[in-house]
């Protein structure tokens, strides 16, 4: 067996039993990425030397019988908007191309304490804005299942790295679907945690009230394991919950689904949903029914307004968060080789030159939505819809334990198919944005494939119900 194809749990067991070493796994991962990342382009940076050193240290601990955790010696890939001290962090943007992180994100600190190894930083749409990685300033990532198709986005590099077995698992970030949609397109598992369960300290902010870091893995059990390491309260992120922690249980899979009530929202199964995606979902729903789950129709009446609300709240926060890229404090600046006449010229010209089109579009949308004359009509209205969407979920979760929907309305699409028309790209997020607006957890699980292209199913639950999602998700994965 190729060691790079192991799951986290398989690797943890083998390392504990001494069947292979951490160094063996790291070498297997590098040999696979050297062979095919030229075609896939999942990585922006690879840390060969560091990773080998870390692996040898982990092997010493494992041999001495004192591993730091179940993840000790296990190699991961990290989305390039999460800071690792001393490493470049570009967020997929020219404006941060020369930027080197001066501290570790909290999730990186936690993974370091657990002995995990970082193989490299993965590609993403610039500042995590997109659904295909075509907006990366460093060129797109290709889908390992069909290199003529996009891997989804914005965590497309992480999803492709896991699917192509360049690493055993990865971290992504999700503001409106950026973990779940690429997980679905690449045939892997992705979790967007409950807002406030995973620290955002050291994540380059896109839209702070929506952003969460989460695991991207080969199996549901692996997602649960990685989540247990990164979850928890953090004094450096005031939005983390005091009881954010999560404990991993190896055999947490539900044997019996008869107590589980699964809701199907009619608003997610209507117009725009690809028939082939629909057929795969019907199949999974039938399997859940066979296993005793109670399937119920539910309604989320404000769901159709979700995308519009998201594309007002998100750019508003983007316009504020990205104001810090001023050509002085971080990264690239026109002042390096030109002689600007004042601060404003540095500010405007740096941003004009180094931000890509999609980023500039969203900053403009955001500043417009927040401007005095339009604030009530756009931003305030979107926030009111956000409250309604949250209430819809609260009502639905009185009747059901989980809500099942497609992750994406469409199959992985081809390069260039949606880049000319931003609205058609935004429509790729139609089923994922509501979970971010409501702050609830959502898990994408591989559900089948059409002509070799993967299709994912999404499970949403009430806040802090990740354990239930893993239980039902594990069953869907096995069936």
- Contact footprint for ligand GLN (CB under 6 A): 128-131, 154, 174-178, 206, 314, 429
Q: How far is the CB of 1 from ligand GLN (least distance, A)?
A: 34
Closer of 59 and 174 to ligand GLN (Cβ): 174
CA 369 to chain CA centroid, Å, is: 26
Task: Please state, in angstroms and rounded to a whole number, the distance separating the CA atoms of residues 103 and 95.
Answer: 19
For the record, the structure tokens of 24 come out as 């063996």
Residue 121 in contact with residue 164, Cβ under 8 Å? no
Closer of 46 and 91 to ligand GLN (Cβ): 91
State the alpha helices, DSSP H only, in 291-323: 306-321
Residue 177 in contact with residue 311, Cβ under 8 Å? no
Residue 157 in contact with residue 43, Cβ under 8 Å? yes
DSSP symbol at 376: I
Would you call 177 helix, strand, or coil by DSSP?
Answer: coil
Closer of 54 and 93 to ligand GLN (Cβ): 93
Q: Where are the beta strands (DSSP E) in 85-211?
A: 117-122, 169-174, 189-192
Closer of 179 and 229 to ligand GLN (Cβ): 179
- CB-closest chain residue to ligand GLN: 178
The edge-to-edge listing of strands for the beta sheet with 189-192 is 43-46, 117-122, 75-79, 169-174, 212-217, 189-192, 442-450, 453-461, 402-406, 261-265, 294-298
Closer of 73 and 176 to ligand GLN (Cβ): 176
> C-alpha distances in angstroms, 342 versus 324, 333, 346, 348?
17, 13, 7, 10
Closer of 151 and 176 to ligand GLN (Cβ): 176
Q: How far is the CB of 412 from ligand GLN (least distance, A)?
A: 14
Would you call 103 helix, strand, or coil by DSSP?
Answer: coil
- Largest distance between two CA atoms of the chain: 72
Closer of 24 and 429 to ligand GLN (Cβ): 429
Half-sphere exposure of 479 (CA within 13 A, CB side): 24
In the residue annotation, 381 being an active-site residue is answered as: no
Closer of 114 and 158 to ligand GLN (Cβ): 158
Residue with tokens 């469409």: 410
Residue 317 in contact with residue 210, Cβ under 8 Å? yes
Half-sphere exposure of 154 (CA within 13 A, CB side): 30
Task: Please state, in angstroms and rounded to a whole number, the distance separating the CA atoms of residues 101 and 90.
Answer: 9
In the residue annotation, 178 being an active-site residue is answered as: yes
- In this structure, the strands spanning 442-450 and 189-192 are antiparallel
419 burial (CB, 10 Å; 0-12 / 13-18 / 19+) is: middle
Q: How far is the CB of 65 from ligand GLN (least distance, A)?
A: 41
Task: Please state, in angstroms and rounded to a whole number, the distance separating the CA atoms of residues 30 and 19.
Answer: 19
Q: How far is the CB of 451 from ligand GLN (least distance, A)?
A: 24
Share of the chain residues as helix, strand and coil, in percent rounded to the nearest 5: 45, 15, 40
The single residue of 22, 93, 136, 154 carrying the catalytic annotation is 154
Q: How far is the CB of 120 from ligand GLN (least distance, A)?
A: 20
Q: What is the CA radius of gyration of the chain?
A: 21
Active site residues: 79, 154, 178
């Amino acid at each position: 067996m190729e060691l790079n194809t192991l799951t986290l749990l398989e690797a943890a067991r083998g390392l504990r039993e001494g069947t292979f070493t951490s160094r063996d796994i790291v070498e297997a991962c590098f040999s696979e990425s050297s062979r095919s990342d030229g075609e896939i382009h999942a990585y922006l940076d690879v840390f060969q030397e560091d990773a080998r050193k870390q692996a040898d240290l982990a092997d010493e601990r494992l041999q001495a019988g004192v591993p730091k955790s179940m993840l000790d010696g296990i190699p991961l890939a990290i989305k390039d908007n999460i800071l690792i001290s001393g490493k470049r962090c570009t967020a997929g943007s020219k404006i941060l191309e020369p930027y080197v992180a001066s501290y570790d994100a909290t999730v990186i600190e936690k993974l370091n304490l657990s002995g995990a190894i970082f193989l490299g930083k993965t590609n993403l749409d610039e500042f995590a804005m997109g659904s295909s990685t075509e907006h990366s300033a460093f060129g797109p990532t290709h889908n390992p299942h069909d290199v003529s198709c996009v891997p989804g986005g914005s965590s497309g590099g992480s999803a492709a790295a896991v699917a192509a077995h360049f690493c055993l698992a990865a971290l992504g970030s999700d503001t409106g679907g950026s973990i779940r949609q690429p997980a679905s397109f690449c045939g892997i598992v992705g979790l967007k945690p409950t807002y406030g369960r995973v620290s955002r300290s050291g994540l380059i902010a896109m839209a702070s009230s929506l952003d969460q870091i989460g695991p991207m893995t080969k199996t549901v059990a692996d997602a649960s394991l990685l989540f247990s390491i990164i979850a928890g309260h953090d004094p450096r992120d005031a939005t983390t919950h005091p009881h954010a922690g999560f404990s991993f249980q190896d055999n947490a899979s539900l044997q019996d689904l008869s107590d589980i009530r699964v809701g199907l929202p009619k608003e997610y199964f209507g117009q725009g949903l690809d028939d082939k995606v629909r057929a795969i979902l019907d199949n999974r729903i039938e399997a859940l029914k066979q296993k005793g789950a109670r399937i119920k129709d539910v309604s989320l009446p404000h769901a159709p307004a979700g995308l519009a609300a998201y594309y007002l709240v998100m750019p508003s926060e983007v316009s504020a968060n990205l104001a810090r890229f001023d050509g002085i404090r971080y990264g690239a600046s026109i002042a390096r080789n030109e002689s600007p006449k004042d601060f404003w010229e540095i500010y405007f010209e740096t941003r004009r030159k180094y931000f890509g089109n999609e980023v500039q579009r969203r900053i403009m949308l955001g500043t417009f939505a927040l401007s005095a004359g339009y604030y009530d009509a756009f931003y305030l209205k979107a926030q009111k819809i956000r409250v309604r969407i949250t209430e819809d979920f609260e009502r639905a979760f009185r009747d059901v334990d989980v809500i099942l929907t497609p992750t994406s309305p469409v199959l992985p699409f081809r390069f260039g198919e949606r880049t000319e028309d931003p609205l058609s790209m935004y429509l790729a997020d139609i089923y994922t944005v509501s979970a971010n607006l409501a702050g609830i957890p959502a898990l994408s699980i591989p559900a089948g494939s059409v002509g070799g292209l993967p299709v994912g199913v999404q499970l949403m639950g009430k806040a802090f119900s990740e354990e239930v999602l893993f239980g039902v998700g594990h069953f869907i994965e096995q069936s």
